[in-house]
Amino acid sequence: MPEKHSPPPQMQAQTRLGPRPLPLHLAIAAMTLLTSRGALPLLRKGSLDWRPELAAAAEKLRQSAAALDEKQVERALDAAAAKRWGAFLDGVLRYRRHPYRRALPEARTAWQDGTTRLLAYAPPQRTSHRKPGRPVLVVPSLINRGYILDLTEQRSFMRDLAARGFRPYLVDWGQPGDAERGFTLTDYIAGRLDAALEAVLDEAGAKPALVGYCMGGTMSVAMTQRRQDDLSGLALLAAPWDFLADPTPVTAALPGFLPALNAAIGTLGELPTDMIQALFLGLDAHLGYRKFRAFAALDPASEKAHAFVALEDWLNDGVALAGPVARECMEGWYVRNDPALGAWRVAGEAVDPATICLPALAMVPAGDRIVPPASSLALAAALPNATTLRPAQGHIGMMAGGAAAKQVWDPLADWLKNLD
């Protein structure tokens, strides 16, 4: 195991206060249980018009139901629904009342511009008695808070890097302010990310490796193309590229949602967090229902319960997306598939992974349902010097799950150590 080091004295405690919000999953679960009761008349007559391939099975079910007492079936269904609904509500209430609050010491701010900060997880080189380690600049998604990479004391990718002797820096995009609401991806990449890289070069005095997670990986490809001479390598963690390689149901339905989403952006100047979360819920509408029922059965004092609450707090602590960025991603990425077609431009230049000569690592989690593996594998195939690894993890689990250290952090750290 890597040697552990205490955090720098400049760090301050970070604690979340206030009541937890009601999860958006609540409405989804209610609709799930109500539709069970509403579908009963259709099952009785063997009619599932929206699933014609189930017609034979529906007819068998109708025949079985015909032999039962109608009122008895209704009572049994109501009892089962009430039991499941009660377990779900119990899980939600246990989550809202759980005593856990994130209280990790906050990393030192090495640079800031507007709402964007560069968080350093090692002391400045001039104050450190350790041998200089390789700097690593980590770029998270714009959609979620970056502290998924620094979630808890036991599950912090950033602090693990520091304990292994690296000099890790995390870009914290923050909530878009008045200036950022007008930002495009070019403003974030050629503006804020470019300046953050300069700050790392100035403080660390060495070329950092660039590590991009999710959407931050896609952005990191454009950044690497711009600044290859100032970087030592590129690692991509579940980074989407070909958005139509294996489109999710949400991707397929997005064109129909665009008028309403664009109307909200036009009014607010940003795509609100609740709308973003609603889109993600479309990937698995029943996920929240299942996970809160499972949480209700956990010992609240267990490590598993604490990990659940920490992750759920992060999921509910989302950020809005600047209006121009939201349009660029929804229309340019998900609808037109600009990156894979070579039509995505940053600062006027087409982003082409084939021009990147640096060593690259593409980690494509096999169980990813947010970024289909085919989307990330297309990017790995386009990079001339890429090594591809397929950890048996999901999109979030690869960075914050119980097996993340062994399956993702260890091989990533080994790759970073072996960079020239």
**CA–CA separation, 340 vs 351, rounded Å?**
9
pLDDT score for 339? 98
Answer yes or no: are the C-beta atoms of 142 and 77 closer than 8 Å: no
Name the token pair of 227: 């600044």
CB atoms within 10 A of CB 197: 25
pLDDT along the chain (420 residues), means of 10: 38 46 58 55 55 73 71 74 83 92 92 98 70 91 95 95 97 96 98 98 96 98 98 98 92 91 95 88 78 93 94 92 97 97 98 98 96 97 97 96 96 94
Q: Given the DSSP bridges, would you call strands 209-213 and 233-237 parallel, antiparallel or unpaired? A: parallel
Report the alpha-carbon distance of residue 164 to residue 157 in Å, rounded: 11
pLDDT at 301: 95
* pTM, rounded to two decimals: 0.85
Domains of the chain: 25-97 (no CATH), 109-247+320-417 (3.40.50.1820)
* Contact predicate 95/312, CB 8 Å: yes
Q: For the chain, how many helices (H) and strands (E)? A: 18, 14
CA distance linking residue 332 with residue 243, whole number of Å: 10
Q: How far apart are CA 341 and CA 61, in angstroms?
A: 48
DSSP H or E segment with residue 71: helix 70-97
Q: Where are the beta strands (DSSP E) in 268-368?
A: 270-271, 321-322, 345-346, 349-350, 360-363
* DSSP string over 247-266: --HHHHHHHHHHHHHHHHHH
Q: Are 123 and 117 in contact (CB under 8 A)?
A: no
Residue among 217, 256, 44, 59 at smallest CA distance from 138: 217
